[in-house]
Structure 1
Amino acid sequence: MIIAEDDKIEKLALKEKLAAQFEMKDLGKLKYFLGIEVAYSKNGIFISQSEESAPVEKAQYQRLVGKLIYLSHTRPDIAYAISILSQFMHDPRERHMQAVDKILPYLKSSPGKGLLFKREDTLTMKIYTDADYAGSITDRISTFGYCMFLGDSLVTWRSKKQDKVSCSSAEAKFRALAQGMCEGLWMKIILDDLKVKVDNPVQLYCDNKSVMSIAHNPVQHDRIKHIEIDRHFIKDNLDRGFVITTHVPTELQIADSFTKGLPQGRFQDLVSKLGMIDIHLPT
């Protein structure tokens, strides 16, 4: 939605009324809308539509991205980037290859980086879930991500586009919560087969209080008819005590790095919380 005005007070009042009825995210000054790019200067406003970038050699792109997909099994810090690049395997363009070329120097700068699995006497399972609402500029489908820790060790993670467009940020994050819960229950079954005891219920961390309220409160039925199966699944496991939900501030939401591109400082901060180390660096 674009809001235009010649009265800043009226615009603010309109935004407040809309926010009271709908869950909204203010993206700030208009820069991009339905393929149209908007630029500003002292001379006025310039709008344009970029031409499609040139195609690249498909086999080479597929080989490179395929290797990066395999490498991401021990490098969760590139999981989001690879999930985006892998969406264009059948029709890669020059801009996609340029993105690959940016990932390679990053990997070469820290070839010894990987995951440390720590020895621990007790194990608790923690899962961080998140979604970037309507993050894809091509089809407005949200990207969800989760990461699971056993104790302080990262054991599984995922970054992936959802299978349909979500109508709100709460819906996108609710679906991510359900995906994270599925992953936790699946891992618990594996650990039970291996006779590994997990202390306490699975802890699900989410940074959206509306999502947590919907998960616990069946009264909000009308808001979530379209995600009814997920709601029953989540509520059932909460009632049985298998899982508990915990609110985490957005700045501490580790799964943020699996759902969107981030500024360098924020990205490095979250990567440090994934339990990755570089064996080539002096201790």
Structure 2
Amino acid sequence: MEFSRSREGIFVNQRKYVLNETGLLGCKAVDTPIEVNLKLEATEPVNMVDRERYQRLVGRLIYLSHTHPDIAFAVSMRILRYLKGSPGKGLMFKKQGHLQVEVYTDADWAGSIVDRRSTSGYCTFVGGNLVTWRSKKQNVVARSSAEAEFRALAYGICEAIWLKRLLEDLKVTVSSNESLL
């Protein structure tokens, strides 16, 4: 991990971790981690790759996605070239003077072209700093966009409850004007 401290806060990044390990430090950079509006579908395997090298790369990318939330979904697509062109991206932890917990949720209704299931996503902030995030394909086909959004909201609320209990266990107090739920 690379850490950088400034007056603004602490910046965490792991860009060089994967690029050095894969020998792609000199690869061509891209602006986004995945093509905009890309719809994934199953295909037949074309060529076999070195299994061990691929497994090590995937493991490193999964580890890397913990401090690089913008690659969590696209962890195996265009990532190495994207990381090459994004040296200033990572997590910035700033002291905001409060511990307010915020949760944001979203869903893409029937977004999968294979089975029409939606993908839910949420991210949580404590004191204005991103601390958790997740996207997950929903288990059932939602009948409406409202149902898909409701399921995403349920995931986000579960995360907020977990954060509240974690903060309580850590004896971190949140003032009365800073509601967790």
Give the TM-score normalised by the residue count of structure 1.
0.45
Aligned match of 1:125:
101
1:182 lines up with 2:158 in the alignment: yes
**Shift, 1:65, TM fit:** 2.3
What value does the CA root-mean-square deviation take over the aligned residues?
2.1
1:104-147 alpha-carbon deviations (Å, 9 max, x no partner) = 11101224532111123321111000011111111211111100
2:95–2:127: 8 Å Cα contact kept in structure 1? Answer: no
* CA distance in structure 2 between the partners assigned to 1:170 and 1:58 by the alignment: 44
* CA distance in structure 1 between the partners assigned to 2:72 and 2:57 by the alignment: 15
Aligned match of 1:171:
147
Q: Which amino acid aligns with 2:117?
A: I
* CA distance in structure 2 between the partners assigned to 1:55 and 1:140 by the alignment: 28
Aligned match of 1:110:
86
**Shift, 1:77, TM fit:** 0.8
Query: For 1:195, what is the secondary structure of its paired residue?
Result: coil
2:65–2:72: 8 Å Cα contact kept in structure 1? Answer: yes
* CA distance in structure 1 between the partners assigned to 2:119 and 2:142 by the alignment: 10
The 1:54/1:119 distance shift into structure 2, 3 A limit, reads same
The 1:70/1:163 distance shift into structure 2, 3 A limit, reads same
Aligned match of 2:48:
56
* CA distance in structure 2 between the partners assigned to 1:123 and 1:169 by the alignment: 32
* CA distance in structure 2 between the partners assigned to 1:154 and 1:122 by the alignment: 14
Query: For 1:113, what is the secondary structure of its paired residue?
Result: coil
Identical positions, percent: 60
* CA distance in structure 2 between the partners assigned to 1:152 and 1:190 by the alignment: 17
* CA distance in structure 2 between the partners assigned to 1:139 and 1:58 by the alignment: 31
The 1:164/1:56 distance shift into structure 2, 3 A limit, reads farther
Query: For 1:189, what is the secondary structure of its paired residue?
Result: helix
Aligned match of 1:47:
none
Aligned pairs for 1:33-72 (under 5 A) are: 52=44, 54-57=46-49, 59=51, 60-72=53-65
1:116–1:153: 8 Å Cα contact kept in structure 2? Answer: yes
**Shift, 1:53, TM fit:** 5.6
**Shift, 1:52, TM fit:** 4.1
**Shift, 1:56, TM fit:** 3.4
Query: For 2:115, what is the secondary structure of its paired residue?
Result: coil
Aligned pairs for 1:155-234 (under 5 A) are: 155-199=131-175, 200-202=178-180
Paired positions, count: 137
1:125–1:198: 8 Å Cα contact kept in structure 2? Answer: no
Structure 1 unpaired stretches of 5+: 1-34, 36-50, 86-99, 203-242, 244-283
Relative to total residues, which structure has the larger helix share, 1 or 2?
A: 1
The 1:161/1:58 distance shift into structure 2, 3 A limit, reads farther
**Which deviates further from its counterpart, 57-66 or 112-121?**
57-66
* CA distance in structure 2 between the partners assigned to 1:55 and 1:129 by the alignment: 38
Aligned match of 1:81:
74
Query: For 1:147, what is the secondary structure of its paired residue?
Result: strand
Q: Pick from 104, 118, 122 the counterpart of residue 146 of structure 1.
A: 122
1:136 lines up with 2:112 in the alignment: yes
1:76-112 alpha-carbon deviations (Å, 9 max, x no partner) = 1111213xx5xxxxxxxxxxxxxx3x21111012245
* CA distance in structure 2 between the partners assigned to 1:105 and 1:130 by the alignment: 27
* CA distance in structure 2 between the partners assigned to 1:124 and 1:139 by the alignment: 38
Higher CA-based Rg: 1
The 1:166/1:62 distance shift into structure 2, 3 A limit, reads farther
